[in-house]
Structure 1
């Protein structure tokens, strides 16, 4: 088989080899069938499907239903269910209730979520943490929502830290995450839909949106994209993000990944769609533009002058992080005449004994800075900041004293590296850091001309990006109607309209006189 695959690739064929699934065909066919009225047959079927008793967390409890004078059994996963509810509200009434009754809903004190006949669908419900009740002679199974999974509580956001505003963040329980959004949007038009996106793990995606705002074509395109996946497992929202992107190899992200429910609620009320997943302490906002990734939720919590001041600093930091190192290389290598004589003499004096060209200096320090930065994140939190500070001081001072690096390069790299921290979005932060290296190489080969050419080419590239049909720089280019919340934020009273590029059903979010 391996030789056959190799031959196919050597011939340049695009045909992928087909591997047949080796799962028991009988099991696949069994899941397509309905349950039987025979108690013993149903018991044997589900014990076989769940490998009972080898599968230790799957429990099967057999008993006699006193009021019906019939046998029954329940099956559930003990690690994912509320055992107290099962014992007190389901099993005890079925066993102890002696009053004549012909219906299960009249016996149990816990509400029945649904009934089902299909074996495969019942299996999915059980693996999701529900409890299934089978009664002798019944053609259907009774399902109870008894899911209870352990996890951490609602805490502060670690990656999107703000000084003023809500401190709540999403956690790994999707029920809590939906509740956090509903707490902020008390509207009957807020819909939460679910869609299964993987075959074996049966991972669900939850779509959250307002039906009286969202554009139907956008909603349909997202649902179609989710339905097009043919994967066995997708365990996290970060993996789903890579599947959803139109250009997964692009440096710049086209989806907004956020841990903040207040930010998600704000985008929902503009007409965006939010995706949630179990076990993912964040959400995806669709579609996303450059401005959504550039902005911070704190911009709106602060008074307008303060928020605009922070935005100006962030915009300045963006250019400093990208261009400082490359411009230093371009000027010192190719355009010395641009430097004032006094500054030129100072730079020449500091580089007199340095044996490396400026591009090697900058690259060594940039890589060292990135190493220190990643090391500070990966080590245990009590010593992380210490490693960053001590590592930077020791390496920088030792490199200067050894005449390997000039002091001005330390200043340039420190300024560039610190500026990159101001970009709060993690994906955009990575994009800026990697782009900085591209500009360094272009400056080392062609000076300012190389930097300018890469900048213009980069703008052309960014303009070509789209997020589910939405241009990356909308509503600036192409121009569309909006509240103009781009570089400068207006006072809240002036932000009367929703983004026109979303084509929401209601453009006005704040009417005059209100």
Structure 2
């Protein structure tokens, strides 16, 4: 009964959303269930169509002639996850140099493992695992050669996206390795890796990664259009590319997500997102990106349901503290002293009695000092960076209080706000929150809580107006879309049965829990 109600809801939603019309794949599915034909030319054309060759740049096919047997052959493999030395030394070389017409293919190939497969679907499974498929004219089967070579790090961890529970691998500066790390997690023939040259002089190559039977074609064409419309001499990495392709490069809010974790990039791809990879970039760009994408971290789904939601609650609380604590202190002290108990008001007044500056100057001095200490701790060599941060904060705070430049409570307020800002994991959103904090400080100094309320309303209006490659910034909260409702809190993994509706994927249902 419950499943029938869910099906009716899905069909009703698809009727309302005309962009959700799912493309039929019955013909492709039936083709994969067929046996391999003896005609080598037809077999090669079939696999070229399945893997979208030559658009899919890391899928390679080599045609050659087998010596001695006088037969044509082709070998198909994925370059980024296959050991090409094994193919060259143990497959191609023996077949090309063979002079004995009585030998079978298994006797000529010197690879460790050679198996026969006759169904196209089984061949695709082996190729996606990193093995190579050898097709010989006249044979209605494929010879699968074990040659997988997935690239992966040893114990290297992500520096900016630290997790306690979950994979430790991170992207590096070699794009072939990065594609291999994604291929290791998504063994699917529909995973597309297209390339594009994005600079006129340096000829920098960009790789566009997506799943072709999930991604929305309109969104994909929009991304490709922006990539191909670039007219610059050189773009060396993704950080420079981000500013060239985003819709609002002057916006304070980021609209493209940068991640250096292959597991996180793979999860976005499986939901219908598009990921960009480049050489010289130890990370990837995920498009489109909503506000909630920056708020979440990769560890949210590795922890148990209760634990991850508790951490999200703390993270949301930390975000509001770092945004409002300094401005609330200014508003209460200057405009609304009646809101705090008399004893606390007398204590604050006593500490500020000998301070010669107004509250706004006190707060700005400490906020700027905290930002300088943070920046200095990041730029100096790592062995002494943490030491500078701790010692600098203690010395400057204590000296400022003893010199009667700031009051002790201002040091506490600014330190708490700065500490909470570290809970925002994404570096772009972290800068956004830190800058917006200064806007609230100035609005509180001018009009108190009324200024803060006005600034908050303006900020909400602005966020609602932002779009990332056609996707509303606050989706799926507003506007409301069919999705797993993974916004402030996440649901149980088995209940997350929908992909993000705002992406308009070809298949909105994950088929989980059925």
State TM-score, norm by structure 1: 0.70
* Cα offset, 1:197, TM superposition: 0.6
Q: Show structure 1 runs of 4+ deviating over 3 A.
A: 151-154
Structure 1 distance, partners of 2:238, 2:512, is 36
Any idea what the Cα deviations from partners look like across 1:251-299, whole Å, max 9, x if unmatched? 1100100011000000000000000011000000000000001101111
Q: How does 1:251-400 map to 2 (within 5 A)?
A: 251-400=252-401
* Cα offset, 1:246, TM superposition: 0.6
Are the aligned partners of 1:420 and 1:429 in contact in 2 as well (CA < 8 Å)? yes
Aligned match of 2:249 = 248
* Cα offset, 1:477, TM superposition: 0.5
Any idea what the Cα deviations from partners look like across 1:394-451, whole Å, max 9, x if unmatched? 0001111111110000110011000000000000000000110111111111111111
Aligned match of 2:432 = 431
Structure 1 distance, partners of 2:512, 2:279, is 38
Unmatched runs of 5 consecutive residues or more in structure 1: 1-84, 100-150
Structure 2 distance, partners of 1:290, 1:355, is 41
Other structure's SS at 2:215 match: coil
Q: How does 1:114-153 map to 2 (within 5 A)?
A: none
Structure 2 distance, partners of 1:331, 1:357, is 13
Structure 2 distance, partners of 1:199, 1:152, is 33
Q: Give the aligned length.
A: 370
* Cα offset, 1:352, TM superposition: 1.2
Are the aligned partners of 1:495 and 1:510 in contact in 2 as well (CA < 8 Å)? no
Are the aligned partners of 1:255 and 1:288 in contact in 2 as well (CA < 8 Å)? yes
* Cα offset, 1:152, TM superposition: 9.3
Other structure's SS at 2:159 match: coil
Does residue 470 of structure 2 align to residue 464 of structure 1?
A: no
Other structure's SS at 2:306 match: helix
Unmatched runs of 5 consecutive residues or more in structure 2: 1-84, 100-151
Does residue 192 of structure 2 align to residue 175 of structure 1?
A: no
Structure 2 distance, partners of 1:200, 1:215, is 32
Aligned match of 1:452 = 453
Other structure's SS at 2:309 match: helix
Structure 2 distance, partners of 1:508, 1:300, is 19
Cα distance, 1:154–1:232 mapped onto 2, change above 3 Å: farther
Aligned match of 2:236 = 235
Other structure's SS at 1:195 match: strand
Other structure's SS at 1:225 match: helix
* Cα offset, 1:507, TM superposition: 1.0
Are the aligned partners of 2:154 and 2:169 in contact in 1 as well (CA < 8 Å)? no
Structure 2 distance, partners of 1:340, 1:176, is 61
Any idea what the Cα deviations from partners look like across 1:24-80, whole Å, max 9, x if unmatched? xxxxxxxxxxxxxxxxxxxxxxxxxxxxxxxxxxxxxxxxxxxxxxxxxxxxxxxxx
Q: How does 1:28-107 map to 2 (within 5 A)?
A: none
Any idea what the Cα deviations from partners look like across 1:445-466, whole Å, max 9, x if unmatched? 1111111101000100011000
Does residue 374 of structure 2 align to residue 404 of structure 1?
A: no
Structure 2 distance, partners of 1:152, 1:371, is 35
Aligned match of 2:210 = 209
Aligned match of 1:158 = 159
Other structure's SS at 2:249 match: coil
Other structure's SS at 1:218 match: helix
Are the aligned partners of 1:210 and 1:269 in contact in 2 as well (CA < 8 Å)? yes
Aligned match of 2:480 = 479
Aligned match of 2:25 = none
Structure 2 distance, partners of 1:466, 1:252, is 11
Task: Flag the structure with more relative contact order, 1 or 2, with Cα contacts below 8 A and sequence separation at least 6.
Answer: 2
Any idea what the Cα deviations from partners look like across 1:186-226, whole Å, max 9, x if unmatched? 11111100000100000011001001100111111111110
Structure 2 distance, partners of 1:376, 1:152, is 28
Structure 2 distance, partners of 1:339, 1:508, is 51
Structure 1 distance, partners of 2:259, 2:279, is 15
Structure 2 distance, partners of 1:279, 1:187, is 26
* Cα offset, 1:336, TM superposition: 0.9
Are the aligned partners of 2:171 and 2:261 in contact in 1 as well (CA < 8 Å)? yes
* Cα offset, 1:153, TM superposition: 7.5
State TM-score, norm by structure 2: 0.70
